[in-house]
Amino acid sequence: MPMQVIPLSEAKAKLSHYAQRCHKEPIIVTVNGRPAFQMVPLHEDDDLVDRLIENHPGFRRLLKERLKGPAISAPEVLRRL
């Protein structure tokens, strides 16, 4: 699949164009000549809330802290509810 690499200034100037284009091919945006991010389309069945939560730095930090602690079984979770 072809890929397009564009500078941030062009992405900002033609955002609507690239918002549509990223559905057809990957769009890599550069900052000062270095790849910085990829424009990724959302699809109808994507859960935006899940995406926002899983990419939130505070949530990731909390999850890492919780995974270090003791685990409890599913039946124990249900009992505590």
Q: Is the pLDDT of residue 10 over 90?
A: yes
Six-digit token string for 24 = 């057809």
Tokens describing residue 59:
């949530």
Q: Is the pLDDT of residue 55 over 90?
A: no
How far is the C-alpha of 36 from the C-alpha of 30, rounded, in Å?
Answer: 5
Report how far residue 77's alpha carbon sits from residue 50's, in angstroms, rounded to the nearest whole number.
22
Q: The whole model's pTM is what? A: 0.58
Q: Which residue has the tokens 């397009």?
A: 4
Q: Which domains does the chain have, with CATH numbers?
A: 4-80 (3.40.1620.10)
* pLDDT (tens digit per residue) in 18-43: 999 999 999 999 999 999 999 988 87
Q: Residue 61 has what pLDDT?
A: 86
Give the per-residue pLDDT at 23: 92
Mean pLDDT computed over 61-78? 87
- Those residues whose C-beta lies under 8 Å from the C-beta of residue 71, and which sit 6 or more positions away, are none
